[in-house]
Chain A
Amino acid sequence: MRLEYFQLIDRIVALDLKQRTIKVEAQVPVESTVFEGHFPGHPLMPGVLLIESMAQTSGWLIIGQMRFERMPFLAAVKEAKLRSFVRPGAKLELSATLEHEGSGYAVTKASVAHEGKTVCDAEITFRVMPFPSPDFRKVMEETANRIGFPMGALTDG
């Protein structure tokens, strides 16, 4: 994770487009300017960033489902529960399931686990639309390459 750059996904571990599931890994950095304020002397991973990490995990699943033809944008977060503290250095396992693919929107259920225990979960809704520009899509493809998006899954699914 690079919190300051909103890079909250380190690596895609598994993507199954038939089962409509994804699993990713993310390591909370030991040091970050974010922890200087959240909180002084008691650093904690901010809940909003945990929610964003679930959104990004879900987003890669949706992008895969859409074969990189469309981009999901966060629209709503429901039933978000932050169940325990996440501290610097924690290695997180994130997962998401596509609950519904509608016309122009998608709904996922996502969760974050630490050492096998769920630390947060939510139902997340996205607006799904064409990429705003070719450059935007290119950036997403480059990011996909960096985090090990399994392009082979696009033809298998």
Chain B
Amino acid sequence: MSSTFDTVANIIAETCDIPREKIKPESHAIDDLGIDSLDFLDIAFAIDKAFGIKLPLEQWTQEVNDGKATTEQYFVLQNLSNRIDSLVAAKGA
């Protein structure tokens, strides 16, 4: 069974045509991988479907815009994977 990070990395590689080996847990989706907001919608769609969740993108964006959070908290892939795990766990609770 692949890890959450592996699933996310594979989604990004396929959606954005980025070589899989360039995608690492410490990669920042925007700053390191150059993923723009439109491509991230495709990624969110694939993640939502793969994990049966709804990534709270609007809330995250609002928190970043309000200075209450940094983009690293949501868009560094290991952090994103951890948040996906939390959402999946919350769904099953």
Contacts and interface: CB of A to CB of B under 8 A. Distances in A.
A75 B44 contact: no
Contacts, number: 35
A125 interface: yes
Contacts of A100: 45, 48-49
Interface residues of A, number: 11
B88 interface: no
Contact of B59 (A76, A101, A103, A107): A103
B55 interface: yes
B55 A102 contact: yes
A132 to B, nearest CB: 16
Given A100-B48, A100-B49, A105 B59 contact: no
Contacts of B54: 101-103
A51 B55 CA distance: 28
Given A100-B48, A100-B49, A125 B41 contact: yes
Contacts of A76: 38, 41-42
Nearest to B62: A104
A91 interface: no
Contact of A105 (B41, B49, B56): B41
3 interchain residue pairs of minimum CB distance: A104-B58, A103-B57, A103-B58
Given A102-B44, A103-B56, 6 more contacts: A76-B38, A100-B48, A103-B54, A104-B58, A104-B61, A105-B57
